[in-house]
Amino acid sequence: MKKAWIENDQVRDVCAGNPSDLFHPDVAVFYDTDVPDDASSGDGWVNGVLIKPELVIAPPPEIPPEIPPKVSPVEFMLLFTSPERVAIKALRQTDPIVDDFLDIIEDPRLTFVDLGLGSTVSAIDYMVYVGVVAAERKAEILTGILL
C-alpha cells in the first residue's frame, strides 16, 4: 500500500514511502490515505475506491494533401531532359498543340507554372502521347525536382 494526498476526490500525489520521512511535516500531513500500489496522480478516489481515468486515444493527425509545386517557366523547362526539350521544340513546327503550349510557357507574363494545374498535367500527358517524353518521366516532371 502507498499513501496518497487526496484532494477533491482525486489523487493529487502518491508517496511510495513514509511521507514523514520524505516531506516536511506541514506537507506530510496531507498524505493520509492508503491507496493501492497502482494508484497514480490524476486517478479518481471516490468513497474509498480508486477510479482509473479512461485512456483517450487521440486520432492520428490529419495529413494535409500534398500541394503540387509551382516553378518558374525556366525551371519548368529544365524539368525536361535536353533530348526531351529538343524533341518538344522540333514538334512546335508541326504540332499546333505543342506550339500553343510553348507559347504559354514563353509568355513573359507567366510568372510560374503550377505543376498541379490540370492543363499542365494534360500538356505533359500529351508529350507522353506523342512520344517525346517517356511515360515514367511524367511523375518525375510533376514533382518539380530538377534533374
Task: Supply 118's cell numbers.
Answer: 490540370
Task: Supply 119's cell numbers.
Answer: 492543363
In whole angstroms, what is the distance from residue 136 CA to residue 147 CA?
Answer: 14
Q: Three-class SS of residue 31?
A: strand
Neighbour count for residue 8 (Cβ, 10 Å): 7
Q: Give me the residue spans of the domains in the chain.
A: 2-51, 70-143
Residue 41 has pLDDT above 70, yes or no: yes
Give me the pLDDT at residue 1, please: 81
pLDDT in tens, 49-75: 999 988 889 999 998 888 889 999 999
pLDDT in tens, 110-125: 999 999 999 999 999 9
The terminus-to-terminus CA distance of the chain in angstroms comes to: 67
